[in-house]
Structure formats: structure tokens, C-alpha cells
Structure 1
């Protein structure tokens, strides 16, 4: 069990690590050679160019020779806080701005709670000596917890009153934030520029995914599971159905093709093209020797051939295969899925279609808001609805076993936190372990870093499960993965650590006491696990957040690509890899801190300062990253906020139930029954918020749709909406080869002008044309492929 000295050692290690990361970042970011790594968002938006090079000093291209800039190397912190929220929304989108509000929500909740807990709870818990006479294994920190209160003491009334106070304060902040975010979302949708997703609906034969779609496609609907007809093709059937049932609003539709094989060929061609570029660049640097390679596995054996000729023929063969597969997809009726993106003349018409039942049979002609074009996960559109239920059942079973068997590494982590168990298992290490610094390192730092390592590959596994389930948008995939990640952390990281940790720490006590006393021992031990979570927060929440801003992996990859693969400005842009906020990993991790803070606020408040440091540090770091680095793949207009709200409410209920169980083991018979009211009141609060605010995230009001349609007709009476939507939802693999792969430059994604700021942006670097490419129809694509 970690002592106060162990916590101090862990804090020193993590603080020094975080400072090292910040200093390294502050130095690396001002070097010209790293400018595209630490400011990629500005390059993507065309508002920044490569730093000017001083002609008299070639080194200035790589190293910042301005000594004055090194005296201002920490100015990124205040700069990250200066951009006002309206400008941040224009610059990065509503998703990014609202994501930052999650960190600010943590500060607003736990700031007053910490002040109250330290003023009231710490003195109440400290003024006892219960643990000294209990025979349990404890540390000095545990004297500040509820475990130090005698059984049956009247002091438990203090904990009861504060539990009510903390609940009411948390609910008030949650309600206020829900109200603000809902208003921000409606305002964003009302003021947002015209987008294809605002006129498009998805027509399907499956249950509605309105709750899962990333952005209310206010004029486009997705229709899936179109019932087959022997006399009509899918396109004729869709057109006939919507002309009959929506005669005044139907505009056009785009069929969904199963182009997964074609997509694989396109991706493979990109990889082979990278190798071809690598060897061509290598040959340019040394023209006297042509590069060669072996054709066997990993180039270890096989015939040695000319590398450039080999990959050139490979690319040519793949190009022929791609053209053949394109023609096959467009001409083969089996490639046409029973689904279509249906566009409407008005947002009002799309809203009516997406939010109503289309057919007498509720399992056919199901419609939902279509994801915006960037948000569509095309691979899953080819999955028939009949298989979705089976896939989700298989994924649920796999997730159950994953969660269950992960208890094994959790037990290993908890064994590291208990010196006695290590010494019993490995007695020959006892002389080394008993060294004071090593002992403090093992108990205060090693468990947290071990748990972090065990969780390293979990998000990737959960995302694979979500894709297997068949969700059709990236936002839905991320939210599904986030919900499972949170549940996994609740079961394994929270409950698993408490149960296994208590078992390891109090094993000797369990053996020598009656069965009836075991619940009391567990009740006393639960607050004492705060020391483990403190070490984990410092590793993950302090050093981990500081490591995020350093971007060590993208930095290395960028310079490797820039050295071996980059030939054009377009290649250099692709090498930047700005990344995204990563909702599927970031939000569940934040929710774990909400859970820990709410659970331990009453029982072990010493944990709260560590959580507040995390929220404050993360807010500054991620605000900087969102402004300068991250480039979102899609915009969901903060559709994830109901998930954030319900998980904080769930954490609040868990904290109340655990406190109720804890007080029952302490024989606080008078105060414990009064806690029953708290979960009931919290559930009522959740139902109120769900009914009052959640509709803004699920449905689009007809009043808002009509208002925006009326304004648009008044401003743009001659708008060619059909031309605007014509190729909005064509599969990416059907786009012409000269079009930029980044869809962020599309007309419907261009952001409005930014509010004036103190940040200077340069435009000296010639940027590739945003409109130089074109999008071809399937027939046009096939004609291009057939040209000699």
C-alpha cells in the first residue's frame, strides 16, 4: 500500500516528466523544421506557410536562430486561452468547442466540492484513531478518509449532509451545462452554412439510427433495406416511392454501392505508390546506383529485381484492376445495395421524412438523417440489415469475455501495489525491494504505469468491435466505442481495482476473521484504495496529458515521410497527420475521473486536488491542440453531449450507492436510510433533463427547418440545389484521381471568416488549388478508365 512518502515520490517523478515534456515541446515547436507538426491545422486551412528562410544562413531553414523567441517559449499557454469561444467554433467546429467544455465542466463541479471537502471533511476524518486499533493495513493518507471514523459514530451525519450538497451542486451544474450546449447546438444548426447533409435522408429498412447519426443532415435522408421489386430496379423503386409519398419535396437520390473490394484496391495502390515514391527519391539522391529489392517475404529472400520497375508495373497493374472493378461495380446489379441517400428540396421536407414512418410495414422503407459526407463509414453500408442483429450479438458476447478476462492483468497490477505479495512470490528480491526509493517507486509509480500499458491496445480492439457491428458513420462508431470503453473501465479499472486491491491488502485479515466480518473489512478498505487511483491519475492525467502535446510519434513519422516519400506540397500535407480529438478514447478517460471524483469526494477527499490538476492541465493542453493541431474528420454539432451527461449522472448514482453500502458496514443506522432518497432524486433529475434537452440532439424542429428554408429562399432565390447535391454522396473511390484526397476542402466544409485575432498567419507558400479536381459520375469514371 502506497504511503505518503510513496505518493510524494510518484508526484515528483510525474511532475518532472510533465515539465520535461513541456520544455521539449516549447523548444521543438519554434523550430522551422517542425512547423507543420505543431501547427498543421493552420496549413490545412491555408492560413499559414512555411517560415521564411534567411538567405545568409542555411541553418535557419531547420533551426530557429532568433534568440528572442527562446525567451518567449512558454507563451503558448496564455495564447491557448485567448481565443474566444465563438471564434473557436468558427475555427475548429462545435464538436471541438463542446468537447473542451467537458474539462471545464469538471473544474466547475469539483472546484467548490474540493473547497468544501477540505474545509469540513478532512478535519472530521482526521480527528479519530480508528485505524490504529483496527488491525488493518493502512497508510497515513487513509487517516484522512471515512475509514478512520468509528463504527456507529454521529460524525457520519456530516458525510450524509455533504453527500446531499454535492449531489445538488453537481445536478445544478449538469442542468445548466446541458441547457447551454443544447442552445449552442440549435444556434449552430440555424447559422451553419448550407451543407449536403442538411438536404439528405437515408432510406433504409431497418430501425432508425437517428440517435447514432453524427450530424442532422437537414436536407438529406438515408433510406436502407428498400424492399425488392421484380418489375423495377432499386433506383426506379426509390424514385417512384418518394415521388408518390413526398411529391412536393423530393429532389433526387444517390444509390449505395458495395465498393469495398474497390476500396481495398485503391488503398493498396496508395501503399504501393508510397514505396515507388521512396525508391524514386532514393535513386534521385544517388543516380549512379538503381535501387533493388528481393520479392520474397519482407524482402528477405526471393529474386532480386529493380525496385522502381517492380513497383511501377505493380502500380500499373493495380490501376487496371481498379478500372475493371469500377466498371463491374457500376454495371453489376448485385453491387447495388437496397439503400439510397435521398435529397429533398427543403430542410422541412427532409425533417418530415427522416422523423416519420414511411410504410405500413415498420421494417421497410426506414429513414434516418444521413451522416454528413465526411462522416459516412462506407464499408458498413454494404452490410445487409438481416446480419446486423447477429453481428451485434457476437460483439456483445466478445465484449463480455474481454471484460471478464481482463481481470487477470488488473490483479497483476494490484499485486504490484502490494509489496508483501511481491516479496512472498519473489523472496530473492526482498533486499532490493526494501530499498527506500525502490519501494516508493514500486508502490507509488509502477502500478499506474502498468495499468496504462495494459490499456494501451484496448481502444483499437473496441473500435474494431464497433465496426463489426455495422454502424454507418464515424461519429456513431466513436460513440459506441466510447460507451464500451467507459463500461470496461468502470468494471475493470474501478471495481476490479477496488476488489482485487482490497483482497491483496487485507488477505491476512480475511483469513483470521469470521465470514460475517468480511463486508465490514471491505467497507473500510474501499476508501483506502484512493492511493492507487492517485498514482494512476498522476501517470495518466498529468504525464499522459503533457505527453500528448509533445506529439512524439507524429513528429518522427513526419520527418521520416518528409525524408523518404515527400515529392510535392500535397505529399507534405498528407505527411502532417494532424489527428483528431479522439472522442472514443478521450471522453471515457475523462468520465473515469468524474467517477473517481464523485465517489471519493465524501469518503477520501484527498484525491480531489489531483483530479482538479488534471482537468486544468488537460483544458489548456487540448485547447492548444484543437486550435493549432487537430483537424476533425466530421462535425456532429455536439451530438455526443447526451452521452456525456448520462455518464456523469451514472457516476453520481454509483457514488451514492457505494456511500450507502459503506455507511451500512459502519452501522450508521440512523443516517444510512436517508441516503435512499438521493438515487431516486438523481434519476428523476436525469429523466427531466432527458425530456427537456435531449430532443435537441435527436430531432430537428420543423419550426427551425422552415425558418432556415424561408431565409435561404429570400437570400438565394435562384439556388441550383440539385447541382449542389449531385455528387455529395458519391463513394470516395469513384472520385477522379486528380481530386485531393482530403474532403476538408469541399465547398460545404469551408468555414466562415475568422474573427480577428492577434495571431499572424502567412500566405507565402503556394497552396494547391482547392477546386482543381472534379467528381465524376460512375459512367464518367468508366469512360475515363476505357480511354487509351
Structure 2
């Protein structure tokens, strides 16, 4: 069990690690050779075309301006100086709102920490419960609620001073109760205020956003089969009948996964061709060679330039054939389509209403923006999605369950006695004070971090298998699963397994009635483990993010072996993205820990505050200078953020209720029942008041934007703007070269649609079988 000294050792290690990362970053970022690694966003925006350093050849690689080394920390104030409106324009609303999550953490926990250290810590410190108990504890646990005596101290022989404290025992728990109410009300106030601000930011962003294809487009899925018409004819027919004044054009979805795979394969071949061509150009006297076998270890020796040139030409032909096959084959057509409308108002009506009597057919929703579409999943039949989600649910259940094994291993590392019993030959080494402090204060946190490294990738693969059709939806689902996983395994699992390891002797030698009391006292004592994890993950981990060691190495390797032109150099940059699917669940874990331990073990709060402050500065810098936004959802994720903080608040209240019940605080415990009820009511209020701004687009806003656009651009040819917006990237180049703007018809002309469908009474469209020709209108 980590003591105050162990935490001090861990803090020293992590502070030095963070300082080393930040110092290395401050040095590397001012070197001209690394300019594209640490400022890629400015290059991608075209606002920075070369290094700012000029002069001698060597100065293009190394910075000889010693004054810049004296100002190596100026990136911190620079990251905070950009105003939020400018940040939104520069990095997008998603990034700006994501950064507000860190600000919420500071707004919530700084006042809570001040109040907790002023009121709760002195109350906990002045009691002697742990000294009189047989439990294993450390000196830092004396600051937690575990040190507050039970409702009746009949088990202990008390001194006169202790008896005087016993008389105040009931009042002590009333103090914790009042603090729980205070912390809840303050958290809810901050959440309401932020929800209101973010909702207003979203509506303002949508109102002021430039014209985008997704504003006019809906995704239609589960188009029913028709024996008389193809999918494209059926879609056009349906929307001309049911949305005659607003339908503009559509693009049927095709399964282009095969040519897409070939295109990716061709890109890899092209990289190898570029590598060998560059190698040959640098040393023309020595012609390169390679073996065609596995990893180039065996096989026929060939000229790599000729080999890859031939392979690429073959792939080009295969891609062309597969592309033609997809475009001509009806089997490749998916019963789904992107349908575009003449106005945002028309798109909003279609996206937010039921299209037919059968609610399972002609399902409409807002289309993701084109760069947000995950094309591979559009080919998945809609009817198979339920089965896929059931499979993933089962797989996720087993993943979560079996991950308790690594959690138990991590908790065993935090228990020195357990290690000594399992490996007695290590006892002389482990008992060395510095090594013991390192094992208890640092090793468990870093071990847990290592076990979690591959988890986000696994969860993202699960989300892709489920069939979500946008990258934003994939990120949100993956984030939800990561949060649940961390709640069950990292939080509850660490508490349960850690308590079992630390208090195993007590469990074996006490009655079953006393076990809940032991658990109640032990839960606050697990705060020391979470402190070590916060320092590893939240301090050193965040500082390591800004160093960008992997992108730095990869860029210079590509720059040396593959880059021939400025375009190649730009492609070698890896700006990355903010990583909502991993970053947001990490933040939510800290919200959970902070709210749970605010009343029971407030000494954890300063470590969380340091994380939020450091992360806010680091990620703001990254958003400004590094990250290139993959898509823009206009902060659609905010209801998830709000809901998870509310969940953390309710969990903290329920755990406090259980904890006080084990402390025999019979009078104060029932009053805590009101807190979860009030919190749930608050959540329902916010859900009804603010969430609609994130799931529906007001028709009033759509009409205002349409009216302004018609006034400003009366001759806008919207059809040419939308016609190829949602074509699969494999076909987009062909469509762009073949499109003829002069052939576009006026959007306002009436359209006559021939159909093979049998004539129906309610269909005003012409039918070849009925012999009637009725125009729309």
C-alpha cells in the first residue's frame, strides 16, 4: 500500500518525466528541420510554406539564434492567447468545445478542492479510527473518511479525548453530508451553464457556417426492393412524389470496397517505387536490387524499379476493371442513397420525419459531411446491423470480464506483501526503501497504462464491425465503450481486487457481517493507487503527447527515404487528430475519480487539477499548431460528455451512501437518497431543454439561412455543387473529369419521370403500362 513517501517518489519520477518531455519539445520545436512536425497545421492551411529560418545551409536544419532558446517556454502563453472565436475558425467547433471539457474540470474541482481542504481534511485528520483498527493503512489514509469513527465506537477502548470526539461523531458525518450536497449543486450549476453555452455556440456555428453539402443532404437507408425499378429509379421516383418542391438530386450507394482495397495497395506500391527511385537518383552508379520473397529475405532477385512499375501498371488496370464492374453491375448497388434537396429547410423536413407508414423502410437521417463518411460500412446490409451489434455486445462482455485478470495483476503489484509471498527470493531487494517506493508508487500506474495501450484500437474495430457509417459515430461509440470499460475495470475492478489483496487477512479472520465495513473503510484507501495512475497517465502522458516522438521519427524517415517533391513532404507529415474516442473517456475517468473522492478522500483532487490545467494548455497548443481536423460534427458529442459527468456524480452519491451505511451513520445516510433523485431530475431538465439543439436542426434556422443565401446568391447552381459531393472517392476523379456544368438543367424546372411501375391511383407520375402521361405539378 502506497505511503506518502511512495507517492512522493512517484511524483518526483513523473514530474521529472514531464519536465524532460516538455524541455525536449521546447528544444526540438524551434529547430527548422522539425518545423513540419510541430507546425503541420499551418502548412496544410497554406499559411506556412517553409521554415522561418533563412541564411546559411546549416541554419536550415539547426537554430543558431540563441535568443530563441531563452524564450523556449513562450509556447505556453502563445497557446492561451488565441481568442475562442478565432480558435473555432482556425480549428473547428469540435476542437474548441473539446477543450472546454478541461475547463469544466478546472471550474468544478478548484472550488471543490478549496472547500474540501478547508473543511473535510481537518475533520478526517483529527480522528483516530485507523490507529485503533487492525486494517492495513498508510499515513496518507489518515486524511480520508476511513479515519472517521463508526456511528458507535463500541469496539474500541477510547481515551478521554476520543470519547469527547465520539460525542461529535454524528456531527462529523453531517459535515460530509453537507459537503456532498454543496459539491453536487456546484457541479450541476457548472454543467447547466456549460450546456447552455455550448448549445448556443453550436447554433451560432451552424448559422454562420459556409455552405456545405451535408446541409442539403440526407442519407436514406433500407430502400425496399422493387421488381419494376432499379434502386436509383425508385429513389428518384419516391422523392419526386413525396418531396416534389424540394428534391434536387441523389447518389445511390455502391459497394466499392474491392476497388478501394486495390487503390490502397497501389499507394503502398507507389511508396516503394518512390523509395527505390530516390535511392537510385542519389547513387546512379549502383543500381538497387531486391528479392521478391517474404520481407525481401528470399526469392528471385529483381530490379525494384521495374518490378514496382510493372505491379503498379497491373493494379491500374485491375482498378479500372473493378471500377467499371461496380458502376455497371446492379449487384453492387446498396439499397441506400444520399438524397440532396434544393433548400436546407427541405433537407431538415426529410431528415427529421418518418417517410412511410412502415417505420422500418425509407429511413432518413442527416448525412455526415463527405469527409466524415466511413465508406466501407455503407456496403453493409441494413438488416444485418442488429446481428452485428449483438455479436459485438457478446464480444465486449467477454473482453470486459476477462480484463479483470490484468487488473488483478496490477493490483498485486501494489501489494508488497503479496509479491514477497509469491516471490520470496525478491524480498531483500523489494525491502530497499527506494525500490519499495518505486514499486508501490509508480509501477502499478505504469503497468495499468501498458495494459490499456491496445484497448482503443480493439474498441474501434468493434465499432467498425457494428456498421456505423460516419467517423464521428464510430468515435462516439468507441468512446462510450471505453468509458464503460474504464468504469468497470479500472475503477470498480481496481477497488474490488485492490481491497481483496490488501485486506485478505481481515477477510479470512472476521465474520461475514464485518466484511462490508472493511470494504467501506478500504474504498477511500484505494485513492493512493489512483493517484499513481493519474500521475503516469495524466501528467507524464500528456507531456509526452506534445513531444510527438513517433510522428517526429516517422517524418524524418519518410523525408529521407521517400520524399521527392513538396507534395511528398506534405504527405509525410502526420498531424493526427484530437482523438475523441480515447481522450474523452480518459477525461471522464478523472471526473469520476474527482467526484467520488471529493468527499471521502479529497487529497486526490490536487493531482486531478494539475492534469486538467496541463492538458488544457498542451491540447490547446496542439489544436492551434498540429491537429488537422478529420471531420466537423458541430459539437454533436456534447450530450455524451454531459451525461457521463452526471453518471459520475450519481455514482459518487451512491458510493457515499454505501460508505456511510458501513460507518453506521444511520441518521445522515437516508438524506443522501435525495441527491441522486435531484441529479436525475436535473439531467432530465437539461436533456429536454438543451439536447434538442444537438439532435435536431430547427426549421426556423434552416429557413433563415436559405433566405439569406437566396438573397446573396440568386443565381447559385446548387446542383453542380452537390452532384458529386457524395460519390465514393474511388469514382470521384472520373466523375469530376466527366461532369459538364453546361448540361445542368435549371433547378426550378418541372421534372417528368418515366417509370416501369404499374399505375397507381395516388401516383401522379407517368407509367408505360397505363399509357397516361401526367406531369408533376
Q: Quick check: 1:734–1:777 contact (8 Å CA) kept in 2?
A: no
Q: Secondary structure at the match of 1:226?
A: coil
CA shift digits 1:487-537 (9 cap, x unpaired): 000000000000000000001111111111111000000000000000000
More divergent stretch after superposition (547-556 vs 506-515): 506-515
Residue 530, structure 1, aligned to residue 527, structure 2: yes
Please name the residue that 1:335 is paired with: 332
Residue 736 of structure 1, CA deviation: 2.4
Q: CA deviation at 1:389?
A: 0.3
Partner of 2:101: 102
Tell whether 2:48 aligns with 1:87. no
Equivalent runs, 1:566-581 vs 2, <5 Å: 566-581=563-578
Q: How does 1:372-387 map to 2 (within 5 A)?
A: 372-387=369-384
2: CA distance between counterparts of 1:360 and 1:127? Answer: 69
Partner residue, 1:541:
538
Say which SS state the counterpart of residue 223 (structure 1) adopts.
Answer: strand
Cα distance per residue 1:716-738 (max 9 Å; x no partner): 1111101111111111111328x
Q: Shift of residue 52 of structure 1?
A: 5.0
| Match 2:300 to one of 303, 306, 312 | 303
Alpha-carbon distance in 1 for matches of 2:289, 2:312: 17
Structure 1 length-normalised TM: 0.91
> What residue in structure 2 maps to residue 429 of structure 1?
426
Deviation at 1:49, TM superposition (A): 2.0
Hey, what does 2:30 align to over in structure 1? 30
Q: Does 2:154 match 1:193?
A: no
Matched residues in 2 for 1:446 and 1:284: separation? Answer: 50
Question: What's the C-alpha RMSD, in Å, of the aligned pairs?
Answer: 1.1
Higher radius of gyration, 1 or 2: 2
CA distance in 2, matches of 1:416, 1:564: 44
- Structure 1 counterpart of 2:190, from 142, 150, 173: 173
Q: Which residue of 2 aligns with 1:12?
A: 12
Shift, 1:288, TM fit: 1.2
- Asked whether the equivalents of residues 476 and 581 of structure 2 are also in contact (C-alpha less than 8 Å), the reply is yes
Q: State the alpha-carbon separation in 2 of the partners of residues 2 and 53 from structure 1.
A: 50
Find the aligned partners of 2:120 and 2:609 in 1 and give their Cα distance. 17
Q: 1:415 — aligned with what?
A: 412
Aligned to 1:150: 149
> How many residues end up aligned between the 2 structures?
723
Which runs of 5 or more structure 1 residues have no equivalent in the other structure?
A: 201-220, 738-773, 781-788
Query: Residues of 1 paired with 2:48 and 2:567: CA distance?
Result: 15
Q: In structure 2, how many angstroms separate the alpha carbons of the residues matched to 1:399 and 1:262?
A: 32
Structure 2, unpaired ranges of 5+: 152-168, 742-777
Q: CA deviation at 1:564?
A: 0.4
| Alignment check: 8 A CA contact 2:53 2:63 kept | no
Kindly report which structure 2 residues correspond to 1:118-157, keeping only aligned pairs within 5 A, or say none.
Answer: 118-152=117-151, 153-154=169-170, 155-157=172-174
Task: Please report how far the alpha carbon of residue 344 of structure 1 lies from its aligned counterpart in structure 2 after TM superposition.
Answer: 0.4
The 8 Å contact of residues 373 and 470 in structure 2, kept in 1 or not, is answered as yes
Distance 1:683 1:708 in 2: 36
Q: What displacement does 1:775 show? A: 2.6
Alignment of 1:204-603 (within 5 A): 221-603=218-600
Match of 1:682 in 2: 679
Shift of 1:54: 4.0
What SS is found at the alignment partner of 2:299? coil
* Alignment partners' CA distance in 1, 2:99 and 2:736: 36
- 1:566 alignment partner, SS class: coil
Pair 1:54–1:243, CA change in 2 (3 A): closer
**Maintained 8 Å contact 2:181/2:675:** yes
Q: List 4+ stretches of structure 1 deviating above 6 A.
A: none
Question: 1 CA distance for matches of 2:99 and 2:54?
Answer: 39
Paired position in structure 1 for 2:71 = 72
Instruction: State the distance in 1 between where 2:173 and 2:347 align.
Output: 57
8 A Cα contact 2:724 2:732, kept in partner = no
Give the match for residue 60 of structure 2.
61
Residues 129/706 of structure 1: CA separation in 2 closer, same or farther (3 Å cut): same
What does residue 751 of structure 1 align with?
none
SS in 2 for 1:598: helix
- Deviation per CA, 1:70-91, whole angstroms, max 9, x where unpaired? 1111100000000000000000
- What is the CA distance between 1:278 and its match in structure 2? 0.6
Instruction: Tell me how far 1:585 sits from its aligned partner.
Output: 0.1
2: distance between equivalents of 1:716 and 1:388?
42
Q: Partner of 2:159 in structure 1? A: none
Q: CA deviation at 1:255?
A: 1.0
Q: Which residue of 2 aligns with 1:48?
A: 48
Tell me if the contact between 1:734 and 1:776 (Cα under 8 Å) persists in the aligned partners.
Answer: no
- Which SS does the other structure have where 1:736 is aligned? helix
Query: Aligned residue for 1:215?
Result: none
3-state secondary structure, aligned to 1:730: coil
